[in-house]
Structure 1
Amino acid sequence: MMRRLLPAALALSLLMSVAVAQQDQAPSPAPAVSSSPAEAPPEAAAPAVAAPVTGTSEADAARPLKPQLAVPHELSPWSMFLSADILVKIVMGALAFASLVTWTILIAKTFELSFIRRKLAASLKKIGNAKSLAEAKLALGERSGVLTALLDAAAHEEQLSAGIARDNSIKERAASRCAEISRAEARRIRFGMGMLATIGSTSPFVGLFGTVWGIMNSFIGISKAQTTNLAVVAPGIAEALLATAIGLAAAIPAVIIYNHFARVTKTYLELVARASGAAARLLSRDLDRAQASGLGRAAE
């Protein structure tokens, strides 16, 4: 019987040794994480990071962080305009419109003054050899302008004063008519220059108003944020100063263009004065010719 049990015991011991070997090779389960810090293994505990000593107390460190002002990613003029206050936007828009008006007046009056100066100079050249008002009007033809108006005024006064012996009175009345036409032409040609003068004189102050309002809002935002960081303060001030920059950009060209047109207008009005003098001379010739013809008939 012992011989029968011996092989069975050997087989059982072999199986037990194989099972123990397989158990030794299996990975050990992860240790359970304990909720208590005391039960955590030393190697599993996270290393404590020592806070730098800054001279502040624990109460100061426990305070909530102060809010920061939003800093725009791009400080371009357009982005600063979009992030500005509504009143500053209105000021900037008004100054931009004033600048547009300035350049529109420049283009329009440049063409106008160039055209009428050439036209009046050519008309004066045509009547340079005319001997009477009728001959001068015939030389001009259907051309209209200030010279035609002056010649018509002189001829009309001559017709109205027919039969009056004193020629000096006719000349004075004709000169009065020509002066009125010259003043009306001066008012017409100066149209738009008052707008240039207004833009040039008031735009810097309008821009300064927008700057003051924008800086005031920036200081209010700085006080709410409770920070003096330059990166936070600078964008608001830059947005405010943009209004002054636009005001100067509108005022400087307006002043330059106004001075330019003042010189050009003065030159044109000198041509108008020459035209008025030409009409007066032609009227005087007509009156002298009529007087000489009357004396000749009386002598006969």
Structure 2
Amino acid sequence: MSSEITFWGLFLEASFVVQLVMLTLVAVSVASWTFIFQRNKALAYARTEMQHFEDKFWSGADLNKLYHELSARSKVDGMANIFCAGFKEFVRLRKSQTPANGIVDGSYRAMRVAMSREIDGLESRLPFLATAGSISPYIGLFGTVWGIMNSFIALGQVQQATLAMVAPGIAEALIATAIGLFAAIPAVVAYNRFSHQVEKLENAYGNFMEEFSAILHRQAMASAQAQQA
């Protein structure tokens, strides 16, 4: 008897609705793990790039030289992209004889836009993980309720009921809940972990923007004083 009750056997014996629920949850789980690996790689890359840029920026490198070096790359991400956006706007406004405060404000807005785009990229796929973690248990529960309901309906059609008659139906129904939890738990853990990492990166980007804006303000004021002299 025990050799007959297997996961695959229960899946094949399950009703169409329960099978559909199981397949849906398996697909959600596969997609979740795919996105988990992708986001983990992307966030690790963002942290590494941020560390490399900060080391170079705070080492006292010339800002013009650093900007041209980064601009020569085919792709600039993270904090380096925020720096390039702010410095590019700073140079453009300074050439147009914009007042010092206007230069700093314009550069800050350019950095804010660049940061928003970076955060949007880092948060990619996180809504899917949140949704998968929220609804997967309920989808599995729906499959369980449906399977148990069918088992009791079949049980009511016989004169003498035994546990052996309803055990396979209840087992196949409970598997749907198990698959739902298997899909939900990693998604919830990954979402919470990645959200915390994105928040830390966003705070780091924001702090850099404030510090870089102060540097640009000093340079703008020095340029204005030099022109007046």
Q: Deviations over 1:75-126 (max 9, x none)?
A: 2222111110011001000001111111111111111111121011111110
**Alignment-derived partner of residue 214 in structure 1:** 147
Question: Does structure 1 residue 117 correspond to structure 2 residue 47?
Answer: yes
**Structure-1 residue corresponding to 2:64:** 134
What's the secondary structure of 2:156's corresponding residue? helix
CA RMSD of aligned residues (A): 2.2
**2:87 pairs with 1:155:** yes
Aligned equivalents of 1:112, 1:163: Cα separation in 2: 38
Task: Confirm or deny: 8 A CA contact 2:93 2:103 kept in the other structure.
Answer: no
Counterpart amino acid of 1:75? I
Partner deviation per Cα, 1:159-189 (whole Å, 9 max, x = no partner): 2353545311221121111111111111110
Higher RCO (CA-CA < 8 Å; seq separation 6+): 2
Which residue of 2 is the match for residue 232 of structure 1?
165
Does the 8 A contact of 2:36 with 2:190 survive in 1?
yes
Equivalents in 2 of 1:73, 1:128: separation in Å?
67
Judge conservation of contact 1:72–1:235 (CA < 8 Å) in 2. no
In structure 2, give the amino acid aligned to 1:273.
Answer: G
Contact in 2 for aligned 1:126/1:139 (Cα 8 Å): no
CA distance in 1, matches of 2:16, 2:162: 25
117-126 or 136-145, larger mean C-alpha shift: 136-145
Matched, 1:169 2:99: no
Which residue identity does 1:269 align to in structure 2?
Answer: E
Q: Which moved more, 1:172-181 or 1:89-98?
A: 172-181
Distance 1:77 1:173 in 2: 62
Q: Which runs of 5+ in 1 are unaligned?
A: 1-70
Structure 1 residue aligned with 2:187: 254
Task: List aligned pairs for 1:63-142, cutoff 5 A.
Answer: 74-130=4-60, 133-138=63-68, 140=70, 142=72
What TM-score results when the alignment is normalised by the length of structure 2? 0.89
Q: Please state which structure has a larger fraction of its residues in helix.
A: 2
Q: 1:145 aligns with which of 53, 77, 94?
A: 77
Aligned-partner Cα distance in 2 for 1:262–1:118: 17
Give the % identical residues. 33
Q: Contact between 1:161 and 1:170, CA under 8 Å: does it hold in 2?
A: yes
- What is the deviation of 1:73? 5.0
Q: Secondary structure at the match of 2:95?
A: coil
**1:271 alignment counterpart:** 204
**Counterpart code for 1:116:** A
1:195 Cα deviation after fit: 0.4
Question: Residue 22 of structure 2 contacts residue 176 of structure 2 at CA under 8 Å; is this kept in 1?
Answer: yes
Q: 1:187 aligns with which of 120, 123, 132?
A: 120
Where 2:26 maps in the other structure, the secondary structure is helix
* Contact 2:77-2:118 at 8 Å conserved across structures: no
Query: Which residue identity lines up with residue 58 of structure 2 in the other structure?
Result: G
Structure 2: distance between partners of 1:103 and 1:165: 50
Structure whose CA Rg is larger: 1
1:199 CA displacement: 0.5
Would the alpha carbon gap of residues 109 and 163 (structure 1) be closer, same or farther in structure 2, given more than 3 Å must change? closer
For these two proteins, the number of residue pairs brought into alignment is 226
2:189 and 2:4 map into 1 onto residues whose CA distance is 33
In the TM superposition, what is the alpha-carbon distance from 1:130 to its structure 2 partner?
3.6
